Amino acid sequence: MERIAYSSLLEWKNSPKRKPLILRGARQVGKTWLLKEFGRREYASLVYVNCDKESFAADLFRDYDIKRILLAIEANTGVQVREGETLVIFDEIQEVPRGIGALKYFCEDAPGVHVAAAGSLLGITLHEGTSFPVGKVDEITLRPLSFAEFLSGTGDAPLAELLASGIEAAIDTMREAYIERLRRYFFTGGMPEAVAAFAEGRSLAEVRRIQDEIVLAYQNDISKHAPAREVPRINLVWRSLVVQLAKENKKFIYGAIKHGGRAREFETAIQWLVDAGTVNRVNRTNKPALPLKFYEDFDAFKLYPLDCGLMGAMAQAPVSAIIAGNGFFEEYKGAFTEAYVLAEMLSANSSQVFYFSSANSTVEIDFLVQKGTKVVPVEVKSAENLQSKSLRTFVTRNEGLKGVRFSLAPHKDQVWMRNIPLYAVSTFFC
């Protein structure tokens, strides 16, 4: 299963300024598999240390003597670590004391050793006070498979290659095929195990069972790793996600978690889920100007599950409605479509995504992104509906902007707005 992030790993390997790598990502997005596959293909030898399971790992970083650490690794794995020829992988590095801090000393004392670290709950560990080696590591974020990766992984590589070409007229000739595959992706999502089961021809019920297990694993992480006093609040936020997104206005409302809910009661719980990588948070920005982060409003935000397939499992959305239902893209107030578009934008573009709403809520723009030196307002439509009153009003009021609408309609370019099909979201960032 090919991953777009593989090319980023190659750039890291070949960089003359390479530092130890941290591969971030939520549990079960494929971090371990990708690093092992990369090591197998690109290096003469591979050393894999699971810091959560290997007994010797608990004492591995008792100090920051890199020579001693490398000798201990060689003694326990039987593999000699050679500079430039061996990839050393520390998986679940956050599970051992001083593990993350040791990366600084690999950078300073053994720059020729290629080291990659991964961990499912790294963000949470760092917020608990673990020292982070600022300036001494490179970072890559791995997300669930994008739609293009899904196509490649399920036998539709030619469709993925056509998307990558960006040739709009040719892409539109395959519109029906893309929409059919998009339905499948809305159900399957991008979690590698679910995609692999689908590609192998296993039943849709089996794919849903895998998704349910992943959701349960995330819930178990809450009970296992979160502070005991926060567990009930985190669970309340987690269970409210799909309810929040089923509203017409998808701004997160604390009162929808429980009657009388307030920010101070749930802000730590929300941050825990964000740090765990299980939700994508989109903050409001108060002005469509560069840089958007200057105008960020932390008090108004939307939360989306990181994967549309998991969202379907959480909502217990009927499989038949997703795969065969004529109106599914429009159901649930378009929540699945927005979650999908957000995930595609995050996969294709490293910059942060925001949304906009006016003070009187008469104009709301689903997403705002930075593309180069431009601010781009994005509207998401769940069907071929080409009415875009809010987007047009917003563009008219803010001179110099050109909007983008993602919908089921084919490509169309107008003076004030460009329509891009939902299946081609990734091409906008090429």
- Identify the band that residue 15 occupies on the pLDDT scale cut at 50, 70 and 90: very high
Contact between 418 and 425 under an 8 Å Cβ cutoff? The reply is no
Query: Do both 84 and 168 map to the same domain?
Result: no
Contact between 275 and 124 under an 8 Å Cβ cutoff? The reply is yes
Q: What is the pLDDT of residue 160?
A: 98
Q: Which secondary-structure segment (H or E) carries 368? A: strand 364-371
Owning domain of residue 253: 147-429
pLDDT digits (tens, 9 = 90+) for 286-317: 999 999 999 999 999 999 999 999 999 999 99
Phi/psi-derived region of residue 201, left when phi > 0, alpha when psi is between -120 and 50, beta in every other case:
left
Distance CA 366, CA 352 (A): 14
CATH number at residue 11: 3.40.50.300
Which of the residue ranges 46-60, 205-219, 326-340 would you say has the lowest mean pLDDT?
326-340
Query: Do both 208 and 338 map to the same domain?
Result: yes
* Residue 171 in this model has a pLDDT that exceeds 70: yes
SS3 content of the chain, % helix, strand, coil (to 5): 50, 15, 35
Contact between 284 and 367 under an 8 Å Cβ cutoff? The reply is no
Distance CA 297, CA 287 (A): 10
Query: Do both 175 and 111 map to the same domain?
Result: no
Query: Do both 153 and 44 map to the same domain?
Result: no
Query: Do both 124 and 156 map to the same domain?
Result: no
- Identify the band that residue 75 occupies on the pLDDT scale cut at 50, 70 and 90: very high
Q: Which of 98, 113, 141 is the last residue of a domain?
A: 141
Dump strand ranges (E) for 162-308.
Answer: 279-285, 296-305
Q: How confident is the model over 60-73, as a mean pLDDT?
A: 97
* Residue 427 in this model has a pLDDT that exceeds 70: yes
Distance CA 380, CA 367 (A): 8
The burial class, CB within 10 Å (0-12 / 13-18 / 19+), for 202 is middle
pLDDT digits (tens, 9 = 90+) for 194-219: 999 999 999 999 999 999 999 999 99
Q: Do the bridges between strand 403-407 and strand 364-371 make them parallel or antiparallel, or are there none, so unpaired?
A: unpaired
Domain total in the chain: 2
Q: Which of 111, 110, 62, 116 is nearest to 88 (CA)?
A: 116
Which of the residue ranges 125-134, 142-151, 224-233, 254-263 would you say has the lowest mean pLDDT?
125-134
Q: Which of 135, 99, 142, 138 is nearest to 120 (CA)?
A: 142
Q: What is the pLDDT of residue 328?
A: 63
* Residue 384 in this model has a pLDDT that exceeds 80: no
Phi, psi of 281, deg, nearest 5: -105, 130
Query: Do both 151 and 29 map to the same domain?
Result: no
Residue 78, both tokens: 């039987």
Q: What is the pLDDT of residue 320?
A: 85
Q: What is the pLDDT of residue 404?
A: 97
- Identify the band that residue 126 occupies on the pLDDT scale cut at 50, 70 and 90: low
Q: Which of 156, 220, 140 is nearest to 188 (CA)?
A: 156
Query: Do both 79 and 213 map to the same domain?
Result: no
Q: Which of 141, 171, 196 is the last residue of a domain?
A: 141
One-letter amino acid at 273 equals L
Q: What is the pLDDT of residue 361?
A: 72
Q: What is the pLDDT of residue 129?
A: 61
For residue 331, the number of C-alpha atoms closer than 13 Å in the C-beta half-sphere is 14
Q: What is the pLDDT of residue 362?
A: 81
Q: What percent of the chain has pLDDT over 90?
A: 85
* Residue 326 in this model has a pLDDT that exceeds 90: no
Q: Residue holding tokens 């084919």?
A: 410
Q: Which of 357, 412, 415 is nearest to 390 (CA)?
A: 357
Query: Do both 250 and 200 map to the same domain?
Result: yes
Whether the model pTM is above 0.85: yes
Query: Do both 183 and 125 map to the same domain?
Result: no
Query: Do both 305 and 419 map to the same domain?
Result: yes
Phi, psi of 286, deg, nearest 5: -90, -5
10 Å Cβ neighbour count for 429?
A: 14
Distance CA 82, CA 114 (A): 9
- Identify the band that residue 266 occupies on the pLDDT scale cut at 50, 70 and 90: very high
pLDDT digits (tens, 9 = 90+) for 91-116: 999 999 899 999 999 999 999 999 99
Q: What is the pLDDT of residue 172?
A: 97
Query: Do both 122 and 256 map to the same domain?
Result: no
Q: What percent of the chain has pLDDT over 70?
A: 96
Q: What is the pLDDT of residue 124?
A: 74
- Identify the band that residue 350 occupies on the pLDDT scale cut at 50, 70 and 90: low
Q: Which of 201, 178, 190, 150 is nearest to 30 (CA)?
A: 190
Q: How confident is the model over 65-72, as a mean pLDDT?
A: 98
pLDDT digits (tens, 9 = 90+) for 76-85: 999 999 999 9
Q: Which of 108, 141, 174 is the last residue of a domain?
A: 141
Phi, psi of 386, deg, nearest 5: -105, 10
- Identify the band that residue 330 occupies on the pLDDT scale cut at 50, 70 and 90: low
Query: Do both 114 and 196 map to the same domain?
Result: no
Q: Which of 284, 289, 311, 292 is nearest to 366 (CA)?
A: 284
